[in-house]
Amino acid sequence: KIYENVADLPGLSYDFVIVGGGAAGNVVANRLTENPKFSVLVLEAGLSNEGVIDSIVPFFDADLLAQPIYDWNYTTVPQPGLNGRNIAIQRAFMLGGCTSHNFMVYTRGSAEDYDRFAAVTGDPGWSWDRLLPYFFKNEKWTEPADHHDTQGQFNRTVHSTKGINSVSLAGFQWPIFSQHVIEATRELPEEWPFNLDTNSGNPLGVGWLQSTIGGGKRSSSATSYLGPQFIRRKNLHVLLHAQATKLVNPSHIGGKVAFGGVQFSQDGVLFTAKAAKEIILSAGAVGTPSILLHSGIGDRTTLTSLGIKSLIHLPSVGRNASDQPTFNAAQWLVNSTQTLDSIYQNTTLFNEAYGEWNRTHTGLFATQGGPTHLAWLRLDPESFAANNFTDPSAGPNSPHFQVIFIPLGFQATGNGITAGIIVVNPVSRGSVTINSSNPLDSPIVDFGFLQSEIDLFVIRQAVPKLLQFFKASTWKNYLIAPVLDLENLSDDALDELIRNSAGSISHFVGTAAMSARNASYGVVDPDLLIKGAKGLRIIDASVFPFVPSANTQAGTYVIAERGADLVKASWE
Ligand SMILES: Cc1cc2nc3c(=O)[nH]c(=O)nc-3n(C[C@H](O)[C@H](O)[C@H](O)COP(=O)(O)OP(=O)(O)OC[C@H]3O[C@@H](n4cnc5c(N)ncnc54)[C@H](O)[C@@H]3O)c2cc1C
């Protein structure tokens, strides 16, 4: 059951207390309550997702992001790599976490990404082969809203229809634009090969977009893992408007620190939820390290200087943060009215599309207002060596950059298209720190964007490769002109443009990374237990040792599915 008010909860003592009802937290809550003997409380700081139309209609994703009440409204510190700009950090303040407001793009990454997790943690359980069953537990492959013929658009054998969270091909395909993208892959099969399914573990190439959408509606962790058949379980309680402040009642057991409960604030009043078995932090890559630091888990010197009693000296808390920078300046005006610009510029078309969605959950609004295809590509490995860089990818079958093809030029008048470039293996690292002992103060977040020259290099090298794609003859009568003449920019001018315009694709991870049991760094062991603590685990995007070469929700779901099994294995 979902509660809005702490006074309505039957009690405050549970077997498991999960902090954060986001991508990961709701998976863990669902899986643990499969066992009727386990009682679970989820503490979620944000609002309900129920009935929020901008979270339900896929096309309204951008409208939702523009509403501050559904966001934590954090901003980064000035980013030297972005010429000193601060950038907005989008983090959902609602049940379902970022899966309730994200762009719904479903991508898993490469097999090598997960094999690298297994290698750095020394636990083969994190390898692709061992995680594939967890991808399948998560994914419920669903026919697209328009029931179009999907032959040649995906590989059924790498998907599962038995999971919980819906995934589908787009319910509206932008046929003219899509045809050009596919035709260009035919013209340039060496550089831009078509890939039937980029979610097979071998992502290289260009493939059709897959999204966490089912029946023309967003499928979030709240609508799926807390769906009606689950949330009615007697042993599953979710409390909204409950912001965890810190872990409390520490004791020492066998040389480890155990915490008796989680302190949280509702309407300015503090309460404590007790966990008899485990506390699980799933507050995301910003929230989780903040709670740890306020609980005395982090770098001892920093904590002591803030007047916080240090309980576990773990300097890696809040370090190793990474996000994938994105550069969206490759835009063209096009000779077609069939782009998203037409919908945004024409109220009649907009209302017709909304009417269709309201009647049948089909049409333009049954898919997000974004990409039709994604490409995952490599740069020449020798170009890295020639510039004294080490190849940052997880292996030869993993990409260096992603391209998102969007039939939208962001034009006030006329029509256009955009091809966004994303650095999928950033080497730059940022941090989450605190500068006060008040847990309700905002943490200090640094993305460290483009601090390592190699990240800038990847974008600079990707630009000419991208321009080459749009030289394929199929585009000839379709493209009118580029919005910016990227082709004739000097390297210096391009670097400056990148630093002045790059932004975040909101794939922030790694702030409480897992590492091998005996490693001298890291925050959690391969079982996701906090080093030096007892009965305390982290299950969310904070534990990624590296960001996978993917959008991060699928990877987070999989960490949570396996994480839930690790918890169960300890207690069943
Ligand atoms: C704008 C945006 C677009 C994105 N688009 C995509 C996409 O298209 N595809 C994709 O794969 N990924 C996308 N992502 C990334 C993906 O959604 C995240 O990686 C994923 O949701 C992370 O899951 P999580 O469980 O770690 O954290 P979250 O999903 O953020 O969940 C954390 C939850 O904890 C709650 N919380 C935080 N602190 C506290 C506290 N102190 N007390 C109680 N509750 C707390 C939060 O309110 C939130 O509900 C996007 C992210 C954003 C922000």
Whole-angstrom CA distances from 245 to 223, 270, 337 are: 26, 9, 51
Task: Tell me the three state secondary structure of residue 182.
Answer: helix
pLDDT confidence of residue 417: 98
* Ligand 1 atom nearest residue 439's Cα: 41
Is 104 marked as binding a ligand?
Answer: yes
The pLDDT of 417-431, averaged and rounded, is: 98
Q: What is the largest CA-CA distance in the chain?
A: 72
Q: What does the block give as tokens for 485?
A: 């003449």
Per-chain mean pLDDT for the chain: 97
| Residues 445-477 pLDDT 10s | 999 999 999 999 999 999 999 999 999 999 999
Q: How far apart are CA 292 and CA 543, in angstroms?
A: 13
Assembly ipTM: 0.99
Q: Which residues of 296-333 are buried (b: 16+ CB within 10 A; e: fewer)?
A: bbbbbebbeeeebeebbebebbbbbbbbbbbbbbbbbb
Q: How far apart are CA 404 and CA 420, in angstroms?
A: 5
Q: Note if the pTM is more than 0.95.
A: yes
pLDDT confidence of residue 412: 83
Residue 95 alpha carbon to ligand 1 centre in Å: 10
Is the CB of residue 373 below 6 angstroms from any atom belonging to ligand 1? no
Select from 27, 26, 47 the least CA-distant residue to 266: 47
Q: What does the block give as tokens for 297?
A: 């888990």
| Residues 358-383 pLDDT 10s | 999 999 999 999 999 999 999 998 99
Is 103 marked as binding a ligand?
Answer: yes
Is the CB of residue 111 below 6 angstroms from any atom belonging to ligand 1? no
Is the CB of residue 465 below 6 angstroms from any atom belonging to ligand 1? no
pLDDT confidence of residue 411: 79
pLDDT confidence of residue 459: 98
| Residues 127-185 pLDDT 10s | 999 999 999 999 999 999 999 999 999 999 999 999 999 999 999 999 999 999 999 99
User: Please, where are the H alpha helices in 470-550?
Assistant: 491-501
Is 514 marked as binding a ligand?
Answer: no
Is the CB of residue 100 below 6 angstroms from any atom belonging to ligand 1? no
Residue 541 amino acid letter: A
Rounded to a whole number, what is the distance in angstroms from the first to the last CA of the chain? 24
CA 388 to chain centroid: 31
The pLDDT of 398-409, averaged and rounded, is: 98
Is the CB of residue 331 below 6 angstroms from any atom belonging to ligand 1? no
Q: Measured on CA atoms in the order 5, 9, 15, 21, is the torsion positive or negative? A: negative
Task: For residue 520, give every residue at least 6 positions away whose Cβ sits within 8 Å of its Cβ, in sequence order, or none.
Answer: none
**Among protein residues, the one whose CA lies closest to atom 41 of ligand 1:** 244
Q: Which residues pair with 421 in a beta bridge?
A: 327, 403
